[in-house]
Amino acid sequence: MTEPHRFTSIVTCLADMARQIVRQTPEFSQGQTYVLPLLMAVLPGIDSNDYKKTAVTFQFLNAILMLVTCVDCSSAVHTRDDLTEIEKEVCLSTAKFEDFITEFLNRTFQMIDTLSTEMSDAVILTNEANREDQEASQELTSMISGIVQQCSNKIFQMIREKITNFLAASSFSPKISKLLNGLVRAILKGNPEETLKYLLPHTCERIEKILNHSETTILTDHKGDTELTWCLILFSELTRARGDALLIYKPMILSVFHRCVRIIHKESYEAVANAAKNLLKSLSYVYPIEYRLTVENIEEPFTDFLPIRAWGQHVELDKLQVQFHIPNEEEVDFACEFVETFIYPELQLLNETCSKMSNEERLRSLTIIRFIAIGCFRMVPRIDSKEVSDLVLSVVSFDTKYRARYTLYAKQPQFRENLRIRLLNDIGKLVDVLVENHSDDASSIKIALKIYSLTSIYFGVFEQYVDKICKDLETIKYLYKNKLSGKRKHPRFVIIKRIGVQLELFSISNYQSLTEIDKQVILKLFELSIHRYSEVRRHAQVYLFHILRRYLFSYQVIVNRILELLDNPGEADHDQIKGCLYILLGNDSIFIPTKHSWTLLERLWPSLTRTMHATKISTQELIDNIMENVVKRFDSPAIIEDTNDVSIKTAIELWKPLDTNELVSRDQMREERNQANIQSYNNLMETLNSLFYNHLLTWRQQEMAMTFIFFLLQNRIPIPSSCIRTFVDFLIHDDIVLRKIAEKGIATFCRIQKPPRIYLEKTLDEILQRPVNVDQCHPGDRDDNLWITINDYK
């Protein structure tokens, strides 16, 4: 088949049928005979000139290779006497696995060679090209991982040797390093000990050799050395190996860091920083270490277990036998030693010589600190601080004192101090210095703000990463599930991935209550979010939104400051007003103007409507965007919150009986809250309505006020008569937008005033107006309807 569109369509369909093809079932047992022919047939789809065809081919190969064991089972034909004819044919065909893998690797290497010769480092890649490279790298990594984790030792040695020889042949462009990193990451997952033995010493020696035979300026050369950069990128990938496998190379690893940590070339020091992060995560995190299809021995002889019978099969949960990496004492000590060896010199350097450093040197130092913090913060406890208790009135805590133990250690990590406190203080001071004296160094300010926010919200994993792996898991589950029966019979590796996702979910669900330290971070980020420099504002707002999303009701900390700036009677700073409006505009995860708090709405909406500081086009456009979001996202909070007797009774049965006095006090508190909501609602309506008569509002502001009032119409409590009068008066306003809102408001008033329907309960005698025998009139099948049924209801 030569037509690309037909090839991609057919291969895409085959990928969705992968599990049905490889699995033995009574209904379709010959599907396995097509596995090897299909694998060989799609290899020409790996084409460096056609990304879509290559991507589809990788997806299909990945779907198949995750479900099969790459083992030559041809000898089972002679050692077992219970094979069917189809099984014999499949066993004989598995002898071609080695040929397939060899051809697949050759085509992959050829594609990488082509890309490395066609793509120069000087070429600026588009976002689409970067996305395509990343997707191809992920598919390639997953594919090779699927092969090496469930293949015979002979095939693994062949794969490892070919990849090792290919990597050692020459230097490569960093632009194609993602594909090469995918190859390394895959064989590391399959057998980290063997992979490190052949790659890590050679890579470290190569780095030492380059540094020894180069000029002394290589560390301070901004252009860098291509070969050294590639070796450092490869080194950073090798540090992803399992922690216990890295321990024997500790002196070698530390030597590379000591020699390269001060290199000034951007891509090189980013590779060193990534290596630090990967090393710390490998040493200190709990994670599954294998994702095999089966836990049985897949090596010869096949007297007890035949691998082809496990192809595509599900596993029972009680037979899962997941293996985890749990940090031992040596790994914990290595991680602590590494952090204290490399993070404190960088902090000292920034504290003492920050103003004398060049922008590049400062950015390098901050990048190293940031990646070390990302790698080690799971081991560092949260800063002990008093909880902010006056955010919301509640009879129970909205957080829990119980924490999920998502990391286990053979011993407790020991640092000389809590690194969160040290970074909070040092980086906080550094941010002030950079903003005041080095405002042109936007990159360093951005990294410094990242580190500053990490001290409050980061506990081992980013929420964006968790969202990504959750989406990946859903994609895998959909790809491999039985779409006809819908039963939850997933392959073993899918269930292990689900466990791995849950481990990461623990770290973003812990710690949702706001403390005084978190409040301090929020207030500092807020002040930077309204700074006079736009770059500072933009970066600070991003991390402010992260914290506001993380901690419940934390937005209340900054509301007073926002209102103070919006209601300022004097001349306001345009940059501050613009920063406030951007904070109110928020992002997809946080939008303050529609929070469910009548107290907040009572204060915020009138201030936003009557502010006289949004005089420039940019601020007017921001207010328009805020109003668009209000229209899309506002749903009226409950004014009267009642709990019926059935709910109270059910809650007591689920929990425990409550004292009568306790119930009375809770009812009294609820009633006070309802009265406060009613008072806030009435005040809000009256205040918005009074703006039309007591302030000189522009037509734009009048439209805002009318829109707010229109959204607040409801039928739980009486609407102030002054608001109704305003809607009637505006029916003849000069502004057509105001007239249309008034028309909608009057129609809403009519619907609210419409009397409710009255339902009367009547007996069948009253409905039919004749005596009725209840036994003869009941729901169900009726004989007089048999003529419209198929086979008399059967």
Confidence of residue 402 (pLDDT cuts 50, 70, 90): low
Question: Of 109-113, 196-200, 283-287, 292-296, where does mean pLDDT reach its minimum?
Answer: 109-113
pLDDT score at 133: 66
pLDDT score at 122: 44
Question: Of 374-378, 452-456, 485-489, where does mean pLDDT reach its minimum?
Answer: 485-489
Helices marked H in 389-515 — which ranges? 419-437, 442-457, 463-480, 492-509
pLDDT score at 335: 94
How far is the C-alpha of 494 from the C-alpha of 488, rounded, in Å? Answer: 11
| Alpha-carbon distances of 427 from 78, 269, 347, 445, 514, rounded to whole Å | 69, 20, 9, 10, 21
How far is the C-alpha of 384 from the C-alpha of 166, rounded, in Å? Answer: 51
| 410: Cβ contacts below 8 Å, ≥ 6 apart | 326, 327, 328, 329, 332
| 751: Cβ contacts below 8 Å, ≥ 6 apart | none
- Give me the mean pLDDT over the 657-665 stretch: 77
pLDDT score at 395: 64
Residue 91: inside a domain: yes
Residue 167: inside a domain: yes
pLDDT score at 660: 76
Q: Do 184 and 140 form a contact (C-beta atoms < 8 A)? A: no
Looking at this protein, which amino acid is placed at residue 336? Answer: C
Nearest to 91 by CA among 80, 102, 75, 79: 75
| Alpha-carbon distances of 387 from 141, 377, 460, 522, rounded to whole Å | 44, 21, 22, 14
Confidence of residue 678 (pLDDT cuts 50, 70, 90): very high
Give the CA diameter of the chain: 110
407 pLDDT above the threshold of 70: no
Helices marked H in 214-302 — which ranges? 226-238, 243-246, 250-260, 266-284
C-beta atoms surrounding 756 within 10 Å? 6
Residue 181: inside a domain: yes
For the stretch 479-535, pLDDT in tens is 888 766 666 788 999 999 999 998 888 878 777 788 999 999 999 999 999 998 889
Helices marked H in 510-636 — which ranges? 516-529, 534-550, 556-566, 574-585, 598-610, 617-633
Residue 344: inside a domain: no
Helix, strand, or coil (residue 423): helix
Structural domain boundaries, residue 1:
1-117+129-190
Confidence of residue 172 (pLDDT cuts 50, 70, 90): low
Residue 757: inside a domain: no
pLDDT score at 127: 47
Residue 94: inside a domain: yes
How far is the C-alpha of 312 from the C-alpha of 491, rounded, in Å? Answer: 7
Quote the pTM value: 0.88
Q: Do 559 and 604 form a contact (C-beta atoms < 8 A)? A: yes
Percentage of residues of the chain with pLDDT beyond 70: 92
pLDDT score at 403: 58
How far is the C-alpha of 427 from the C-alpha of 449, rounded, in Å? Answer: 8
Question: Of 169-178, 475-484, 531-540, where does mean pLDDT reach its minimum?
Answer: 169-178
Nearest to 154 by CA among 111, 201, 237, 98: 98
pLDDT score at 121: 47
Looking at this protein, which amino acid is placed at residue 120? Answer: S
How far is the C-alpha of 115 from the C-alpha of 172, rounded, in Å? Answer: 10
Residue 674: inside a domain: no
| Domain count for the chain | 1
For the stretch 726-756, pLDDT in tens is 999 999 998 899 999 999 999 999 998 888 8
Q: How many CA atoms lie within 13 A of 751 on its CB side?
A: 8
Confidence of residue 178 (pLDDT cuts 50, 70, 90): confident
Nearest to 698 by CA among 602, 627, 606, 609: 609
Q: Note the residue count of the chain.
A: 794
Angle at 551 between CA 343 and CA 574, to 5 degrees: 85
Tokens of 330: 């040596």
For the stretch 15-45, pLDDT in tens is 888 888 998 888 788 889 999 999 999 999 8
pLDDT score at 93: 92
For the stretch 602-612, pLDDT in tens is 999 999 999 88
